[in-house]
Structures are given as C-alpha cells and as structure tokens.
Chain A
Amino acid sequence: MSILKKVLVGALISTALVAQGAQAADKKIALVVKALGIGFFEAAAEGAEEAAKEIGGVELIYTGPTDTTAEGQIDVINSLIAQKVDAIAISANDPDALVPALKRAMQRGIKVVSWDSGVAPDGRMVHLNPSSNPLIGNMIIKLAADNLPDGGKVAVLSASATATNQNTWIAEMDKVKGDYPNIEVVTTVYGDDLFDKSYRETQGLIQSYPDLKAIIAPTSVGIVAAAQAVSDEGKIGEINVTGLGLPSEMAAYVDNGASKSFAIWNPIDLGYAAVMLSNDLIDGAEAEPGAKLSMGRLGELTLDDDNAGAMADPFVYDKSNIDQFKDIF
C-alpha cells in the first residue's frame, strides 16, 4: 500500500506542475462543447478565439466532456462555476438535464448562452441557432430532391435518438415533405454520432432497401460514415449521400461522387457569435424578447419570444466550391 501511495502522490504532483497559474484577464468566457475532438467544435473554438482577440482582455476557456453525455457536461459546468467564469456558452447534450446546473450558474451571476444544440429556456438567457430550423429541415430534403428528378426512396441517418437539433430538423423536414411528392422517406436510423455505428446502420439501410436513392444524414459524423459505407459497398451513383457535414471531411466523397452536395453553416462564425453574444451580456445587455444583441462582424441577433435567434442560412457545398472550403474547416 505504501508504494501505491507514493505513486498516487507523484502523479498528483505532476498534475500540479502541468497546471498553469491563473491568468489575469478582465473577462473569463467558457465555450463548452458536446465533446472534445469533434471537427465542428474545434472550428467553433477557432471562431471563439477570434472573437476573444477582437474584444481584448478575454480569457477563453474551451472545454467539454470526453463523450457526449449530459452528466459529463454537468461536471464541466460545476468546475466552471467554481472558477467563477463570467459567461458560459454551451452546446448542450440534453436540453432538460442541464437546466438545474445552469440555473445555479445564473444564480451565481454567470451569463449563460446556449448555441448550436439548445437548452430549455429556464436554463439559459439566450439561445443562438446556427440557422433557422425550418430552413434546415427544408434544406436537407431539398438537397436530396434536387438530385432525384424522378423521385425515389430516401432514408435518414441521424445522431442519437435524444439529440435535440437532429430531432428538430427531422420534424421540420417532415412538415415540408408534401412539397416534394416524388420523395418517399422510408425510415430514420440512429448512428449515435459514432463512426462505426453510423457505418453499420448505413450498411443495414443498403441491405434493407435495395432501391434506396439517397441517404440524408443531418450530422457531421453520420454523413462521413454513410459516404464511406456507400463507397465501400460500390453504390456510388446509385445512392447519393447528403445532409449536413464538414467540407474538410466531405471533400473526398464529393470528389468520388458518393455525395453530390451537402450543406452546413459556418461553425467558425457560430463560435465567434456565441462569444460575442456572451460578451454583450457581460457588458450589461438585457436578454428579452425583441432585444437586439451584437454578434460583432456578423451583425445583430434579434431575439424571439423564447429569447432565441437565428444566425444565418445554411450554405450548400458541392464540386464547384468544395476545394475552396475544405482547408478552412
């Protein structure tokens, strides 16, 4: 047991050496993501850094749990409350479970903004939507329909069954299905934003629906897995993979034809706007319906009745512009 103790103490002391002294900064803004190591959120962090530099005197803390769980994010929020940050800008793994933790943050004077994947209104002051949900819902089915003049069967590959934004977009897509009478949406499967599970679900779709014409994956992990599965199964040209993805990850599949086009907003802008909004709230801006908050170079965000606002329209990437964007994010 004494050796064990020595090892433990040694390990702890080494962690202390890793730790840096507290930096002197006027404002501390935390950008909390669903999980670290996801390209989309790394790009958002880049935009957040840009905003922090532009504002000046801001210490940006980019953090998140190891896997996409609400429990992990609550631990992160607790440690941010303990560090007495000035604002938390979070992309939530669960709209309800984070509410008690974020409420406590607000009680202790911390400004809370949710962005990308939202938190229920009780748990945040402002929600920043990357785009409007109806526009995205319409966009993902339109991308499939535009490449299917004769119509056909289409399947949806989503993230987890509890993912807030994917569920909202699919619901919005269902509302406008009537505008695309040739398109038959046959099923929705869940890849949990894990590459291997999404890949297997796609293989399952290809086997279950031999005449499938397109797969809509409104998730940056799922769309890559689906495109890879379609390439591996030799279905390029038969099944078009579309949805929402990152240009850097999708460039290869646009080149090989597995994906004719896909859409995404600019995550760099999203991280930038989230930090700008947090800063505006720290400076005393009131979050109330109808208020206009500053998003820096992106203009103003107008809040609706739920204190939510939309940043911009989704942008379509295809062979004509993919090379230009694939190095950016």
Chain B
Amino acid sequence: MVVIAIFIVNSFASPYFLDAWNLSDATFNFTEKALIAFAMALVIISGEIDLSVAAIIALASTAMGYAAQFGAGTPELVAVGLGVGLLCGAFNGFLITGMGLPSIVVTIGTMSLFRGLSYVILGDKAFNGYPSDFAYFGQGYVFWVISFEFVLFAVMAVLFGILLHLTSFGRMVYAVGNNAMAARFSGIRVGRVKFLLFLMTGVMSGMAAICLTSRLGSTRPSIAFGWELEIVTMVVLGGINILGGAGTIIGVVLAAFIMGLVTFGFGLMNVPGIVMSIFIGLLLIGVIALPVLYTRLRRRFRREQVQ
C-alpha cells in the first residue's frame, strides 16, 4: 500500500516518474543493497549484526580487479567475488562463534580490516580492465526494461523468503534470536546456525560486489563506502526487530522499494541529498518509535478503562 502511495504521489509530483526506463534506472539504487539486506535480516533476527558488509564489497571488488589484471574471464571473476565474500564471512563467523566474541565488535574490526586491505592493495589507483561481457551483471537487461540486477533481487527475495519462513533452518533463526539459551537446550546448534548466517552475509556481499563492480566498470578502495548503515536502515525499516527474534523478508522487500523510490522521487524533484538523509532518518526513528508508543498508549488506555 505504501509503495502504491509513493507511486501515485511521485507521478503527480514529477511528470518523469512514470516512465518504464526511468523506473528501471531507479531500481539500481537499491537492488545491490537489498541483496545484502536479505542476509542481514536473518543475522539481525538471530540477534547479531554484521557491519563489515560494505568492506567485504570493497575487498571482493579489489580481488576481482586484481584477478582481471591477470586475464581472468567473467566466470573466474564471479568465482573470485563470491569466494572472497565467503572467506570474509567465514572469518567473521569464526571470530564470533568460534571465539565467542560479540558480533558488533568483531565486524567493526573486520570493517576496518577488509577495507584497509583494499587500500593497501590499491592505494590511490583504480582497477578498470574488466572484460566487456562482465558488464552484464550491473548493466545488462534480461527482458526489455527488466535488468539482470532486478531479476537477481527478485529471485533472492523469494529464496530468502522460503529459507526464513518455510524451512526448519528459518525457525531455528527465530528461536536463536528469541532466546539463544532456550534454543540451545532444545537441541539447536546455535553456533553453527550463526556461523552459517555470517557465511551468507559474506556471500551476498560478494554477489553485491560483482553487481556494483560491473555497474561502475571499475574498482576503487572507497567503493560502497558507508553502505553498511544504509543496509541496516533498510532492514530495520522493513520491520525487523533490531533486538532479534522478529521480522519478515517481505518487510525488507518493501523497505527496499520505499527507500529506492523515495530517493529516486526526491532526485527527480532535485531535492538536495541532505534533505533525503533527514527524511530517511526521521522515517527510521518513526518506524522504531511508533510501535513502542502505540503499545504504551494502548496499555495506558486499557488501564484507565479498568479503573
């Protein structure tokens, strides 16, 4: 419903909004972030967080650029991107579940570590010798205005939806997030579930790195800078409880559309970016505060009724 409202308001506000190609262009500003947001949603539901995702993009993109210099073709580049993502995720997972360290601290550390490695490798240089067919992932279209990235986004939304809502693994994720101790006593291997979740954010970051690198056609160590907070924003906006235990994938999908279309709509009206940030910030506070206020008011109302 909100998405429909955005459509209506934006098409009144700007005559350019309802144009198939424009809407297609608009999807690019959220598909890559949404890919990671799906995996991040599961991590947050399980009661953890991964702030190293944007840095994994930087490192995976740097590794792909490095491989491209040695003549790697598109299949190898994809393997490198996903592989680096997997390794980074495994490293996070090992530190958090193997060593029992808190995820927020570990991933703040690896955020600096992974991006730092990219800066060490690249310095002030850029890789841009990617093969021409590699451009398909970020610039290609599957059918008419439906981009490859959008199809990937839709497929991943369905896969993560099934994983979270229809499998026993999904139920374990909720159980771990609601009460890790109880989950452990009921026979769930909590450490293994969490490790798999961090592998997932790693791989999805690798996948986003492939799309973004392909779309930009180049790699710099500053690539995707600051995305981790936008991704967490998307997840929280999607109704995932930041304290863990609750939330749905469809919420994240809607949040992705809302953030993407509002940003694009504002852009069409040439509203300065800082106003967009203020709007997204207020939206976020509103989404978190409103349910709390709502239940509090309702409780007070009920108490008054009882008296």
Q: Which residues of A come within 8 Å of B, CB atoms?
A: 1, 3-5, 7-9, 11-13, 15-16, 18-20, 22, 35-37, 61, 63-67, 69-72, 74-76, 78-79, 81-84, 94-97, 99-100, 160-162, 167
Q: A18 to B269, Cβ gap below 8 A? A: yes
CB distance from B219 to the nearest CB of A (A): 9
Q: A69 to B268, Cβ gap below 8 A? A: no
Residues from chain A with a CB closer than 8 A to the CB of B286 are 4, 7
Instruction: Say yes or no: is B151 at the interface (Cβ < 8 Å to chain A).
Output: no
Q: A8 to B5, Cβ gap below 8 A? A: yes
Counting chain A CB atoms within 10 Å of each CB, the highest count among B13, B15, B258 belongs to B13
Instruction: Say yes or no: is B181 at the interface (Cβ < 8 Å to chain A).
Output: no
Q: B26 to A78, Cβ gap below 8 A? A: yes
Q: A67 to B226, Cβ gap below 8 A? A: yes
Q: B216 to A96, Cβ gap below 8 A? A: yes
Q: B268 to A3, Cβ gap below 8 A? A: no
CB distance from B276 to the nearest CB of A (A): 7
Residue A79 contacts which of B212, B217, B268 (CB distance < 8 angstroms)?
B268
Task: Report the separation of the CA atoms of residues A32 and B123 in the bound assembly, to the nearest whole angstrom.
Answer: 26
Task: Report the separation of the CA atoms of residues A8 and B270 in the bound assembly, to the nearest whole angstrom.
Answer: 20
Contacts A8-B5, A22-B15, A78-B267 given; does A99 touch B294 at CB 8 Å: no
Residues from chain A with a CB closer than 8 A to the CB of B239 are 1
Q: A13 to B267, Cβ gap below 8 A? A: no
Task: Report the separation of the CA atoms of residues A36 and B287 in the bound assembly, to the nearest whole angstrom.
Answer: 28
Residue B124 contacts which of A3, A16, A161 (CB distance < 8 angstroms)?
A161
CB distance from A14 to the nearest CB of B (A): 9
Residue A83 contacts which of B16, B126, B224, B287 (CB distance < 8 angstroms)?
B16
Q: A61 to B270, Cβ gap below 8 A? A: yes
Contacts A4-B286, A16-B12 given; does A78 touch B2 at CB 8 Å: no
Q: A3 to B274, Cβ gap below 8 A? A: no
Q: B2 to A82, Cβ gap below 8 A? A: no
Task: Report the separation of the CA atoms of residues A239 and B15 in the bound assembly, to the nearest whole angstrom.
Answer: 56
Residues from chain B with a CB closer than 8 A to the CB of A82 are 16-17, 19, 21-22, 25-26, 264, 267-268
* Beyond A5-B1, A70-B216, A78-B26, 16 additional pairs, beta carbon < 8 A: A4-B290, A8-B258, A11-B282, A15-B262, A18-B269, A76-B273, A78-B29, A82-B16, A82-B268, A96-B128, A96-B220, A100-B135, A100-B216, A160-B222, A162-B124, A162-B222
Q: Which residues of chain B from 114 to 167 have any CB-CB distance to chain A below 8 Å in the complex?
A: 119, 123-124, 126, 128, 135, 138-139
Instruction: Say yes or no: is B263 at the interface (Cβ < 8 Å to chain A).
Output: yes
CB distance from A41 to the nearest CB of B (A): 12
Q: B124 to A36, Cβ gap below 8 A? A: no
Q: Which residues of chain B from 260 to 294 have any CB-CB distance to chain A below 8 Å in the complex?
A: 262-274, 276-277, 279, 282-283, 286-287, 290-291, 294
Instruction: Say yes or no: is B225 at the interface (Cβ < 8 Å to chain A).
Output: yes
Q: B222 to A15, Cβ gap below 8 A? A: no
Task: Report the separation of the CA atoms of residues A238 and B225 in the bound assembly, to the nearest whole angstrom.
Answer: 38
Contacts A79-B267, A82-B268, A96-B126 given; does A12 touch B6 at CB 8 Å: yes
Q: Which residues of chain B from 199 to 219 have any CB-CB distance to chain A below 8 Å in the complex?
A: 212, 215-218
Q: B267 to A76, Cβ gap below 8 A? A: yes
Closest to B282 in A: A11
Task: Report the separation of the CA atoms of residues A167 and B112 in the bound assembly, to the nearest whole angstrom.
Answer: 24
Q: B270 to A36, Cβ gap below 8 A? A: no
Q: A97 to B217, Cβ gap below 8 A? A: yes
Closest to B25 in A: A78
Residue A3 contacts which of B14, B267, B294 (CB distance < 8 angstroms)?
B294
Q: Can you list, as one digit per residue, whether each of B1-13 has a CB less than 8 Å from chain A (1) or not (0)?
A: 1100110011011
Cβ-closest 3 pairs across A and B: A79-B267, A66-B273, A96-B218
Residues from chain A with a CB closer than 8 A to the CB of B258 are 8
Residues from chain B with a CB closer than 8 A to the CB of A162 are 124, 126, 220-222
Contacts A3-B294, A82-B22, A161-B119 given; does A69 touch B273 at CB 8 Å: no
Residue A97 contacts which of B15, B22, B216, B263 (CB distance < 8 angstroms)?
B216
